[in-house]
């Protein structure tokens, strides 16, 4: 069993080791000797009669980490508790009764401390929720503001990040309205901040701001506010806010890296698409238009934002495999021989191989591989039919056909958008997935997508 150390102040008749408690006496409650003993003590036993309630109160305030057991007559128990005693022993008390009470108050004090520690740790653990999985700075900032508000019991909290690539500051807000928290965000053009007068909001201790810093670089700021009728923030709350700021910087840095990574991928996709279009003037913009049609269809069909982003990439790069096909074949004006057609058909597989090797996602690779499959199973490269064909690939097929029809190719003249849509409808359930054709028709009629007027500059399309 652990031996507890108890400092005895005043004329309490106990000394030495009693049932796992080591009692040591000190002459005064506030001298150097007492201070040295208190530093290492688990509890203090104080004689209320000899010291007086004020002295007991002083001990409780001066050494908050050491619980006080008062030795007091029955009629002064309440007074001892009011003075801050965690436990009381009524004389005539022997060493056993005092040791038992010391063990009880120490155990209770430790439980309270543990609970307080957990209360402090809880918000830090909640910071795990900040993981920037969706890459959305607003979500991260709103959560951070709410965690900060709860942690230091503020009425309002705002988190702001300085995203180097963004033209605006992003601000997340959490605010108590009634019993609920309202969360929101807004963006601020940095130039406008200069018009806010410095020191406009006097700091009366009810506003606290900490910088979010990572590797010495400021990445944002966190501000918490309390209503004027409430207590100012205390030192412990400000320290907690400092800790929160250090830990919360990490997801913001992650977010920044994610943003840069996505930006890099976007540029790579565009560069590859541009390379594909270089060898045929009539292809300029084809991938971009196709991708915008595909995304409009995907949105109509309820695809997630992540899937829509993949669909855009697959749309941009669906024909990347044509890099490996000779221009003589791709630009041939007349019909292809069966052998030539077999060679051109290889672009679907080659495209998937290129994208897989370049580390693009599984969906992007699958959708590019199957973008020439047909709903009736007569397509290539695998002859899949119906819903065996991945949905993204069925969408690309419709978007591709519409784009090719409306802009024309070296081997065929363009047609009007209405005619192209008519053709899609004719092939509904044969070449194309009926629901995809319907979704595209709705997107076109609602004005979500507009056929770009490549067809009207038809001259020279052959």
CA distance 217 to 261: 19
Helices (H), 127-234: 137-151, 190-193
Site string for Fe ion, 344-373 (x = CB under 5 A): ------------------------------
Q: Which range of residues in 141-149, 159-167, 319-327, 415-423 is near Fe ion by CB under 5 A?
A: 319-327
Measured from the CB of residue 294, what is the shortest distance to Fe ion in angstroms?
Answer: 13
Q: Which range of residues in 43-51, 311-319, 360-368, 375-383 is near Fe ion by CB under 5 A?
A: 311-319
Measured from the CB of residue 374, what is the shortest distance to Fe ion in angstroms?
Answer: 13
The vertex-282 CA angle with 355 and 319, nearest 5°, equals: 15
DSSP characters over 25-88: EES-SSSHHHHHHHHT-SEEEEEHHHH-HHHHHHHHHH-TTS-EEEE--GGGHHHHHHTT-SEE
Q: Which range of residues in 162-170, 180-188, 318-326, 401-409 is near Fe ion by CB under 5 A?
A: 318-326
DSSP characters over 187-207: EE-HHHHTTSPTT-S--SSSE
Closer residue to Fe ion, CB minimum distance, 183 or 319: 319
* Residue nearest Fe ion by beta-carbon distance: 319
In the structure, how many helices (H) and strands (E) does the chain have?
A: 16, 11
Closer residue to Fe ion, CB minimum distance, 55 or 433: 433
Is residue 310 a contact partner of residue 364, using CB atoms and an 8 Å limit? yes
> Per rule CB under 5 A, is residue 403 in the interface with Fe ion?
no
Measured from the CB of residue 322, what is the shortest distance to Fe ion in angstroms?
Answer: 7
Q: What are phi and psi of 77, to 5 degrees?
A: -60, -45
Closer residue to Fe ion, CB minimum distance, 142 or 372: 372
Single out the residue of 353, 388, 361 nearest to residue 373, CA to CA: 388
Q: Under rule CB under 5 A, how many of the chain's residues touch Fe ion? A: 1
Closer residue to Fe ion, CB minimum distance, 319 or 363: 319
User: Considering only residues 209-238, where is the footprint of Fe ion by CB under 5 A?
Assistant: none
Measured from the CB of residue 279, what is the shortest distance to Fe ion in angstroms?
Answer: 14
How far CA 370 is from CA of 237, 300, 345, 366, 408, in Å, comes to: 58, 21, 11, 6, 22
Provide the edge-to-edge strand list for the sheet that holds 156-161.
180-188, 169-177, 156-161, 217-225, 207-214
Helices (H), 337-387: 338-357, 362-369
CA distance 282 to 285: 8
Closer residue to Fe ion, CB minimum distance, 99 or 350: 350
Is residue 298 a contact partner of residue 433, using CB atoms and an 8 Å limit? no
- Which one of residues 42, 319, 373, 433 is an interface residue with Fe ion (CB under 5 A)? 319
Q: Which range of residues in 114-122, 167-175, 300-308, 313-321 is near Fe ion by CB under 5 A?
A: 313-321
Closer residue to Fe ion, CB minimum distance, 66 or 283: 283
Measured from the CB of residue 347, what is the shortest distance to Fe ion in angstroms?
Answer: 6
Q: Which range of residues in 43-51, 176-184, 189-197, 317-325 is near Fe ion by CB under 5 A?
A: 317-325
Measured from the CB of residue 405, what is the shortest distance to Fe ion in angstroms?
Answer: 14
Measured from the CB of residue 320, what is the shortest distance to Fe ion in angstroms?
Answer: 9
Closer residue to Fe ion, CB minimum distance, 233 or 440: 440
CA distance 101 to 104: 5
Closer residue to Fe ion, CB minimum distance, 310 or 319: 319
Single out the residue of 174, 164, 107 nearest to residue 144, CA to CA: 174
Measured from the CB of residue 351, what is the shortest distance to Fe ion in angstroms?
Answer: 7
Token pair 């005895």 is found at 8
Residues that bind Fe ion (CB under 5 A): 319
């Amino acid at each position: 069993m652990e031996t507890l150390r108890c400092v005895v102040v005043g004329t309490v008749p106990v000394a030495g080791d009693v049932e796992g408690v080591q009692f040591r006496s000190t002459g005064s409650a506030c001298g150097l000797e007492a201070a040295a003993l208190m530093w290492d003590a688990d509890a203090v036993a104080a004689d209320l009669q000899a010291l007086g309630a004020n002295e007991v109160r002083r001990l409780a305030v001066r050494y908050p980490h050491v619980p006080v057991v008062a030795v007091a007559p029955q009629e002064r128990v309440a007074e001892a508790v009011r003075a801050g005693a965690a436990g009381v022993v009524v004389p005539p008390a022997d060493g056993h009764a005092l040791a038992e009470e010391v063990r009880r108050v120490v155990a209770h004090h430790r439980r309270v401390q543990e609970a307080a520690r957990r209360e402090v740790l809880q918000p830090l653990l909640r910071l795990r929720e900040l993981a920037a999985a969706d890459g959305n700075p607003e979500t991260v900032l709103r959560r951070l503001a709410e965690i900060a508000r709860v942690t230091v019991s503020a009425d309002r909290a705002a988190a702001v990040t300085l995203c180097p690539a963004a033209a605006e500051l992003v601000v997340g807000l959490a605010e108590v309205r009634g019993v609920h928290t309202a969360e929101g965000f807004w963006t601020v053009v940095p130039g406008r901040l200069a018009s806010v007068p410095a020191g406009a909001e006097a700091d009366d201790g009810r506003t606290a701001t900490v910088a979010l810093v990572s590797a010495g670089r400021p990445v944002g700021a966190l501000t918490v506010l309390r209503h004027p009728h409430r207590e100012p923030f205390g030192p412990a709350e400000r320290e907690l806010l400092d800790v929160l700021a250090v830990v919360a910087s990490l997801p913001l840095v992650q977010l920044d890296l994610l943003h840069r990574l996505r930006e890099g991928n976007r540029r790579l996709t565009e560069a590859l698409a541009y390379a594909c279009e270089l060898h045929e003037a009539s292809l300029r913009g084809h991938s971009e238009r196709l991708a915008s049609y595909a995304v409009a269809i995907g949105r109509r069909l309820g695809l997630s934002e992540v899937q829509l982003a993949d669909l855009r990439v697959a749309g941009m790069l669906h024909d990347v495999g044509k890099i490996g096909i000779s221009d003589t074949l791709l630009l041939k004006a007349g019909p292809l021989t069966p052998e030539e057609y077999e060679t051109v058909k290889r672009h679907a597989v080659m495209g998937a191989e290129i994208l897989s090797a370049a580390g693009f996602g599984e969906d992007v690779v699958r959708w590019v591989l199957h973008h020439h499959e047909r709903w009736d199973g007569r397509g290539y490269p695998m002859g899949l039919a119906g819903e065996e064909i991945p949905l993204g690939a069925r969408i690309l097929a419709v978007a591709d056909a519409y784009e090719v029809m409306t802009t024309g190719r070296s081997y065929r003249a363009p047609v009007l958008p209405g005619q192209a849509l008519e053709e899609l409808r004719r092939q509904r359930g044969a070449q194309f997935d009926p629901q995809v054709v319907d979704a595209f028709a709705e997107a076109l009629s609602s004005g979500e997508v507009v056929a770009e007027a490549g067809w009207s500059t038809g001259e020279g399309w052959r």
